[in-house]
Structure 1
């Protein structure tokens, strides 16, 4: 066991900087506790400070335990330990934006990291408004709300995340009405309801005052949500849980499940009236949040134990996952085919579609793709709005249709 390390055993203010670096990572969302910082101080005493590369490798080995957190750690390391280029880019990200056309789009930055590094940055005064001039060729500008709708969930800051949830709660979600086998009374003439007509004649002494009519009863299509809450999908699935909570207000039956290394029913937890409390109950109830993924095994468990209880010929299944399966791909294809045959339609929501050069090369994606009815992105508010249009049965815009 390594000996306990104190601040006097490391040169200069290195111990204080390492502790502050751990606080920055924690504020950015990485699970870096006091034990990780203490371990890093002990490891630096043994590994030494011969090179910057060894220093970064030692800190990463002590503070990062998941592969999806490595990108955040690398950005924070370069900015915190004085990389002038990236530090200037993060500072420029926090300055007021100047509207205009850019020759080259800036690289995406994680705004959560910027808030963690500069927590005291207040809102800067807005620049003075210029006189409005009417021109025929006006440049295209976007409001903050429109920019937020296109912002990736993974790179949103805490303030943007809260604003996105408010916009999601304000969406008017209407589900497609489907015909049932039952009838209900109708005010307009159509199919005659002879039973209701005879009951009316009995109440009026055998006379026929008016014919009674009926129509086919319609009910919104039930929804089943299967959300991948593994490390690479947790932030996207968290927003999809807010979307499922909003769907539950649309007078339809919504059954929700989360899966990572195991399948967990979360329908009761999402019945909380407050969306934030509902998602907090889900994250407290689920034991494998931000863990690994066993997609084939979880689909097998759902098909075996829950499919007959929750699925019928009218149900729409929303499968939220990136499809990166490391297990038995043949079993994954079999379970996906069985799932698609048990429901009305299977919609796959994949955040990887946010990349323009996305190609289905992974074996798990190739196994799932032949059995889904639609493959849609799910990485920002615009994609969720397109999903709402699809579930409502309204015609989609041409540019949103997938071949």
Structure 2
């Protein structure tokens, strides 16, 4: 069947060629298009108002987009084919060589020469660019978030980028908690039959097991205890980690937070403030001495003596965020790490310097701690923090 014959109004050869090419581009990019959609699109093109791309875009979008993924890709493909914007990108995506189609611009130009005003042309371009700019801003926002996730925190010098990283770090902690909770509920659905109690109850029924007794595993919730190195060598990372810790305490019911430099400070009450900015300000009043030296061994001794019994149970993961540079004796750090290891389920040591090229744990403090560490992982960007979730899910 000739598709041009299915429309009520005649369609020019240029417009029909252009529409067929656009439909093929959409099919190459995963859109599901049939004869009915193409026939309706021809009717739209044949109507008088469809000559403007700004009016044609929403009409074709409603006809051709049947899934969320289609809506996400449509604007970029439309701009490339109809407005000749980003043709190189669209060609790479679709794999179809494209030549500038002779379509609506030619017909529109003919109308202009017949007497349409330049003001109409200005309105037409304005409407089309507005939709394109909105789509571009969405793509730029997603790209910026992805770029920030892979950027080392020490390279975030722009205040806007740093503020966005703070927000993403807090959001990451909350989303981790939500996913870990869903996994925990899924595990609880797998109940096992308590055979001993079932047999005991069946005695009253002559040995017939009419009443089945199920065994439920009583799981303790995962508890996170975070200790953040706030010394001078960690100053480029500590601000982002404070926002991550604020998100952890705001989302995890079982969580405690400490910072240490030359001494250990319990900051959970300060970080439980609902306002993140006020929480950081309140915490700064407690953290006198931040930015100086580090005594990791002495700080862990304080934790083991005064806080460990209250904070740690059988499903506790202690997360130490530090570069491992200790001004105290390495033997003391090793002894305190050994004592801490006997108390908790897991110890994760997050070192931002692991993300640096050519890094090796040569510091004496780091060498003394490593034998007692279950996970030694990088923590230099948001992507490395996100990779902690699978590990926590296995605890």
Instruction: Give TM class, smaller chain.
Output: 0.5 to 0.7
Shift of 1:254: 0.6
Q: Pairwise mapping of residues 223-234 of structure 1 onto structure 2 (< 5 A)?
A: 223-234=224-235
Shift of 1:358: 0.7
Shift of 1:210: 7.5
- Partner residue of 2:239? 238
- Partner residue of 1:350? 351
1:69-112, Cα deviation, whole Å (9 max, x unpaired): xxxxxxxxxxxxxxxxxxxxxxxxxxxxxxxxxxxxxxxxxxxx
Does structure 2 retain, via aligned residues, the 8 Å contact 1:186–1:215? no
In structure 2, C-alpha distance between the alignment counterparts of 1:164 and 1:245, rounded to whole Å: 13
In structure 2, C-alpha distance between the alignment counterparts of 1:393 and 1:276, rounded to whole Å: 33
Shift of 1:244: 2.0
Shift of 1:236: 1.6
Q: Does 1:325 align with 2:282?
A: no
- Partner residue of 1:268? 269
Describe the shift of the 1:153–1:192 C-alpha distance in structure 2 as closer, same or farther (beyond 3 A).
same
Q: Does 1:173 align with 2:176?
A: yes
**Going by fraction, where is helix more abundant, 1 or 2?**
2
- Partner residue of 1:134? 91
Q: Pairwise mapping of residues 117-266 of structure 1 onto structure 2 (< 5 A)?
A: 129-131=85-87, 132-135=89-92, 143-156=143-156, 157-171=158-172, 172-174=175-177, 190-191=193-194, 213=214, 215-266=216-267
Q: Does 1:311 align with 2:312?
A: yes
Does structure 1 retain, via aligned residues, the 8 Å contact 2:271–2:279? yes
1:144-186, Cα deviation, whole Å (9 max, x unpaired): 2211111111221210111112222333113757xx9xxxx98
**Structure 2 residue runs without a partner (length 5+):** 1-83, 96-139, 202-209
Shift of 1:297: 1.1
1:228-285, Cα deviation, whole Å (9 max, x unpaired): 1011113322222222222234443111111101111111111111223222221222
Shift of 1:324: 0.8
Shift of 1:320: 0.8
**Could you say which structure has the larger radius of gyration?**
2
In structure 2, C-alpha distance between the alignment counterparts of 1:262 and 1:326, rounded to whole Å: 12
Shift of 1:345: 0.7
1:346-395, Cα deviation, whole Å (9 max, x unpaired): 1001011111201122211111111111111111110111123322339x
TM-score (structure 2 length as normaliser)? 0.56
Describe the shift of the 1:382–1:212 C-alpha distance in structure 2 as closer, same or farther (beyond 3 A).
same
> What value does the CA root-mean-square deviation take over the aligned residues?
3.4
In structure 1, C-alpha distance between the alignment counterparts of 2:213 and 2:278, rounded to whole Å: 48
In structure 2, C-alpha distance between the alignment counterparts of 1:212 and 1:369, rounded to whole Å: 46
- 3-state SS in 2 of match to 1:348: strand
Does structure 1 retain, via aligned residues, the 8 Å contact 2:170–2:248? no
1:117-153, Cα deviation, whole Å (9 max, x unpaired): xxxxxxxxxxx95334413799xx9922211111111
- 3-state SS in 2 of match to 1:349: strand
**Structure 1 residue runs without a partner (length 5+):** 1-127, 199-208, 395-403
- 3-state SS in 2 of match to 1:227: strand
Describe the shift of the 1:211–1:359 C-alpha distance in structure 2 as closer, same or farther (beyond 3 A).
closer
- 3-state SS in 1 of match to 2:233: coil
In structure 2, C-alpha distance between the alignment counterparts of 1:267 and 1:133, rounded to whole Å: 51
Compare 380-389 and 163-172 and name the one that shifted more.
163-172
